[in-house]
Structure 1
């Protein structure tokens, strides 16, 4: 026996056999037939083994064809077309039929009976509002009213200052300008007096004041007019 006759044909149980609904028993039968044919071929002659090999090939080829069969159940492909602007709401253009209007009206909260609306038979008494003419009603929370009044005054004063901010600033500026002008006038007069100052005249005035005769108001304990005192002192009349 040659090495070629010793080779045992083997068939793998692939997924294609499962897809073609080939049962395990059928697969085992075919494989066992192939194996038995091979063992019988070992004992027979060379010619018989060649013929047997042809039969084995004939039995194995349909199995291989079924295994290699491409026609299988394929999942249909889904085509997805992405939107150009996926963040914008896409309005549904389908025509919607109007909903059916049911004429039945259900009571709210599961009520089964509603009492009828009947006006009261009796005449209602007149309701008189309390008069506001008399001031006998005492004031309540008078301390809170005082606090509120103070707070309102402060609030209004704050609003007034905010509203009259520029007006007050203008008044303040005018007041400061008036003070500055008065101060400058005093400085100008002092400068003019300083320009008119003469040292010679100043010295002469001081000397005249030094040599000036002071006339007293009393003469020997008696009060006399100025001209009498000048006569008694021997001075010329003034």
Structure 2
């Protein structure tokens, strides 16, 4: 009869900690759990504000291998973007079992936001890509001239979901009185969630949705839920 393996110090001292990371000191375990909770729950850790700065630096400087190894069996790829200070757990569609699909309306909004992001990054080399809700609505009408945009309350719900997954930020400027004046910052994580190698590929997907608007058969992008 084989003997039971002796529990490692990590296993015996901390039942909330995996035994396959015995080299992680106790003071780093709580922030690493927070990083993983954010990556699995929202898909993204924003490292340019608040406590996210320390979490981003800890992951980038000390625990890239640990986090990548943890996410790999879940079909998630760790992305570390030093330029904009973002950690992202990007699903590998062929392997990830934690995927939730965007609805058609959500996908249409994502397509409009992706084009706005690509246009500004290509033509202006802007550090941040920001537009108002009114500008988003107008760009939707220009992009999909045969499809009705979502109603205001539905659009708010869509933007809230994208914000929850940290694909956008939004805030109402001081002095703004109308919902349409709300500012939307498009984060680079959005471009990786719905990736296109070229504007031609984006156009092909847009045309697919226009053609499928009557039968709802177009394939929607996915996000880790």
TM class by smaller structure: under 0.3
Q: Larger C-alpha radius of gyration, 1 or 2?
A: 1
Using the size of structure 1 for normalisation, the TM-score is 0.16
Query: Relative contact order (C-alpha < 8 Å, sep 6+): which is higher?
Result: 2
Using the size of structure 2 for normalisation, the TM-score is 0.17
